[in-house]
Structure 1
Amino acid sequence: MTEEVKAWWELTARWFQDDIDLDVGVNWTGMGVDDDLRLLLDVAGEDVLELGCGGGQCSVALAERGATVTGLDLSEEQLSFARELADEHDADADFVQGDVTDLGMFPDSTFDVAFNAYVFQWVDDLAACFRETHRVLREGGRFVFSMPHPVYGLADPESHEVAESYFDTGRQVTPQEDTELDMVTYRHSVADVHNALVGAGFRVERMLEPGSDDPDDYEEGPWGEHRPELLAKLPSTLIFEARAA
């Protein structure tokens, strides 16, 4: 992950956490806690790594389920919030600062499960991240993550027509009116993600695209960023389940 991504989160973390006000739990779709997907199954007694833990809501939830959890994040501001949240819930979770593309602070074969939710749009080098994740997982370890579906962001939110190219991957800059920094993210195709997983030594077990064709099943979100009519037409979330071979 890049210095500009880190700078963005150091600047906006507190505002983001206050506004989004996420409950403790696993937020796979970016629209609130949705543990009903049951992707991580029973983690009691397992060593779990959250890659890009943000405010720690997911890490705290898994610690409360009996996992030994380590949350990693690039931003010290996010980690500060996560530690406060863990203290509030009396949850035993460790939080460390670091880049998901370089997990050198962890020995080989340290974890049983690695996961994250809505993080990889911030990561430019997925191949490096996946190689490192494979290295720190034990043989047969599970890697589960969700990310923005690359097709959803291509549609104009008003007309629903395709407004951008699916093949325009890589660095994306979104101008911000209210901050001194623009937001930088990275667009990855489905093939990019799948092939990076396979190249790192993972066996992909499932891909999921959760959603509904009923606009009434969606809310607009804390900033009005979710468009129910568009969400009922296109998947907004892509989920991978993989296992370290």
Structure 2
Amino acid sequence: MQQHWPHPPVTAHRRPVTEEESRLANGADWDRYADEYQATHGEYLGDAGFLWGPEGLTEAEAGVLGPVAGRDVLEVGSGAGQCSRWIRGRGGRSIGLDLSHRQLQHSRRIDEETGVAVPSVRGTATHLPFRDDSFDVVFCSFGALQFVADIEDAVAETARVLREGGRFAFSITHPTRWMFPDDPTSEGLTATQSYWDRTPYVEVDDSTGATAYAEHHRTLGDWVGILAGAGFRITTLLEPEWPERNERLWGGWSRVRGRLTPGTAIFGADLEPR
């Protein structure tokens, strides 16, 4: 769960939710949350920085994408374009895509402040507005994927726009976190629900009855099957440990929890010959 302000009073549910319902809810939620998110986390992320998650693991340290210089790169769920800007600083031709208009406005603001512009479009992971075989690398750093209901469509779209042998990498909330409350204190270390329960987490606006937020859970095994089914060969699975020096609270992520259980999973996969 993420409590975003200003946020209408909501009630949490566990129930099925469609792709359209998820997209409409999460786009509006990120538009509401974008200003707070950038104010709270912008300095930590860096205007041209590439973090894979709240633990602070950088792409410079992890090397999940491989070489990016001279390559066409798409960031899905690009937010304010920090990761794509980092790639441009290393010779890559990165493009951003995000569902939130407000996040893309922040990306434009940072473009102007830094002088490093990231071409960006508003769109969804399940319908990428690009031609087949357009990119060498597609990545998503804690972006769109866990907010997508039709995840097989999103991964198939990634495969479609990647060139043969292209690289797909993404980070998500570690699937085992689904068992625990979204609480950064020791109270968040007690399992309260089944790891195998894939029923989406949904917040409903109390005043209108409309879906205000939706998040989708897949197990590690689900992700292996989804990637393999779309023609990907998994080469990397990282589960970053929480650094001793990191005292930051980020939603349900904290040193208290991170020193005992993983909060982030990072996948890297290559598209096999068609």
Alpha-carbon RMSD across the aligned residues, in angstroms, is 2.2
1:84-233 to structure 2, matched below 5 A, reads 84-103=109-128, 105-119=129-143, 120-156=145-181, 157=183, 158-159=186-187, 160-174=189-203, 182-212=212-242, 216-221=244-249, 225-233=252-260
User: Quick check: 134-143 or 27-36, which moved more?
Assistant: 27-36
Deviation at 1:229, TM superposition (A): 2.3
Q: Which portions of structure 1, spanning 4 or more consecutive aligned residues, are displaced by more than 4 angstroms?
A: 174-177
Give the equivalent residue in structure 1 for 2:5.
none
Residue identity (%): 34
Q: Give the number of aligned pairs.
A: 239
SS in 2 for 1:99: coil
**Aligned partners of 1:68 and 1:191: how far apart in 2?**
33
Compare relative contact order (CA 8 Å, sep 6+) and give the higher one, 1 or 2: 2
1:29-68 matches, within 5 Å, as: 29-32=53-56, 34-35=58-59, 36-68=61-93
Which residue of structure 2 lines up, in the alignment, with residue 12 of structure 1? 33
SS at match of 1:42: coil
Please tell me whether the aligned partners of residues 30 and 118 of structure 1 are also in contact (alpha carbons under 8 angstroms).
Answer: no
Between 145-154 and 33-42, the greater mean CA deviation after superposition: 33-42
Which residue of the other structure, out of 237, 240, 243, is the alignment partner of 2:267? 240
Give the Cα–Cα distance (whole angstroms) in 2 for the partners of residues 11 and 238 of structure 1: 26
How many Å separate the matches in 2 of 1:28 and 1:90? 24
Q: Which runs of 5+ in 2 are unaligned?
A: 1-18
- Structure 1 residues 222, 193: CA separation in 2 closer, same or farther (over 3 Å shift)? closer
Unaligned runs of 5+ in 1: none
Q: Distance in 2 between matches of 1:181 and 1:126?
A: 19
Normalised TM-score (structure 2):
0.80
TM-score by length of 1: 0.89
